[in-house]
Amino acid sequence: MPGPESRTLFSPPPPAAELSHSERLASLRLIRSEHVSPVTFRDLIAHFGSAEAALDAMPELSRRGGFRRAIRLCIPSEAESELERAEQAGAELLFMTEARYPTPLAALDAPPPLLYAKGRLGLLSRPTVAVVGSRQCSAAGAKLARHFATELGRAGYVVASGLARGIDSVAHASALEHGTVAVLAGGIDVVYPPEHEALQAAIAERGCLLIEMPIGFVARARISPAATASSPACP
């Protein structure tokens, strides 16, 4: 779905310290609606000022855009159910329109509209260095990754990685004492790979898990966090 024609005349509203429940619900509905990509979400918020106003305008935008049928909007009960599942999983939803959304991600041209987070959210605002590498690493590679992650942590940096086998898991384990963020490809309630169950639980308690996909989404080997820019629409 194309963004509003006059989007270049508008700037996104400043991030809210905390969204109201109704605006959080509307934001989630908008994100999960048909044809709403990260770019579209950003443009709609910039144009209309809020997710609630953007949702109200969607039928007219659909008609003006020449769609043969109305764009399918996520219904309130589906969004409420997702919010409840997130709460049950101990996760927090961070919308790009909130002040607590990670600043480096907010600076992207089209940041993910929504992130799931679990753990020490304060780590998301600290200087961060990514340490990633081969899933089938050598002993020498693992030793070097362990050294880098440990020293970066001691220097005050948060170490981010993808909780994959090999270098990623070594980096997380080595940085856990000082701060680490795991960016996952699956839902926050899904452990992948399965042998990292204990490490993922430790990061959720002492570090931070950061996920773009919804509760229950099962990662596959070919999917990486960088490939999850589009969120599924509500059924």
Q: Which one of 90, 105, 135 terminates a domain?
A: 90
- Find all residues with CB under 8 Å of 48, minimum gap 6, and list them: 4, 54, 57
Return the amino acid letter for 106: A
Averaged pLDDT, 20-42? 95
Do 141 and 48 share a structural domain?
no
Averaged pLDDT, 152-164? 97
232 band by pLDDT with thresholds 50, 70 and 90? very low
Q: Which one of 90, 110, 143 terminates a domain?
A: 90
Do 133 and 72 share a structural domain?
no
Do 220 and 133 share a structural domain?
yes
Averaged pLDDT, 79-91? 95
Among left, alpha and beta (phi > 0; psi -120 to 50; other), residue 166 is: left
For residue 120, give the nearest of 206, 193, 7 by alpha carbon.
Answer: 206
Averaged pLDDT, 66-71? 72
| Mean pLDDT score across all residues of the chain | 87
**pLDDT exceeding 90 applies to what percent of the chain?**
73
Please answer whether residues 1 and 40 qualify as being in contact, where contact means their C-beta atoms are separated by less than 8 angstroms.
yes
Residue 107 within any structural domain of the chain: no
State the residue range of the domain holding 78. 7-90
- Is the pLDDT at 66 greater than 80, yes or no? no
Averaged pLDDT, 129-152? 95
Do 222 and 136 share a structural domain?
yes
Q: What is the pLDDT of residue 12?
A: 63
Assigned token pair, 68: 């043969």
- Is the pLDDT at 57 greater than 90, yes or no? yes
Q: What is the pLDDT of residue 230?
A: 33
d(CA 134, CA 138): 9
- Find all residues with CB under 8 Å of 218, minimum gap 6, and list them: 186, 187, 190, 192
- Is the pLDDT at 224 greater than 50, yes or no? no
Q: What is the pLDDT of residue 233?
A: 42
Sign of CA dihedral 142, 143, 145, 146: positive
- Is the pLDDT at 94 greater than 80, yes or no? yes
Q: What is the pLDDT of residue 150?
A: 97
- Is the pLDDT at 104 greater than 50, yes or no? yes
- Is the pLDDT at 194 greater than 90, yes or no? yes
Q: For residues 208 and 17, which has the higher predicted lDDT (pLDDT)?
A: 208
| CATH number of 163's domain | 3.40.50.450
Do 158 and 75 share a structural domain?
no
Do 162 and 73 share a structural domain?
no
Residue 218 within any structural domain of the chain: yes
pTM for this structure? 0.84
Do 201 and 138 share a structural domain?
yes
Do 216 and 160 share a structural domain?
yes
Q: Is the peptide bond before 112 cis (omega within 30 degrees of 0)?
A: no
Residue 98 within any structural domain of the chain: no
What is the number of structural domains in the chain?
2
Residue 92 β-bridge partners: 117
Hey, is 94 helix, strand or coil? strand
Residue 99 within any structural domain of the chain: no
Q: What is the pLDDT of residue 112?
A: 95
d(CA 22, CA 192): 33
Q: What is the pLDDT of residue 15?
A: 73
Q: What is the number of other CB atoms lying within 10 angstroms of the CB of residue 13?
A: 12
Do 145 and 76 share a structural domain?
no
Residue found under tokens 């918020």? 45
Residue 193 within any structural domain of the chain: yes
- Find all residues with CB under 8 Å of 100, minimum gap 6, and list them: 94, 121, 124
Q: What is the pLDDT of residue 229?
A: 34
- Is the pLDDT at 234 greater than 60, yes or no? no
Residue 133 within any structural domain of the chain: yes
Q: What is the pLDDT of residue 109?
A: 83
Residue 232 within any structural domain of the chain: no
Please answer whether residues 52 and 23 qualify as being in contact, where contact means their C-beta atoms are separated by less than 8 angstroms.
yes
For residue 37, give the nearest of 12, 9, 1 by alpha carbon.
Answer: 1
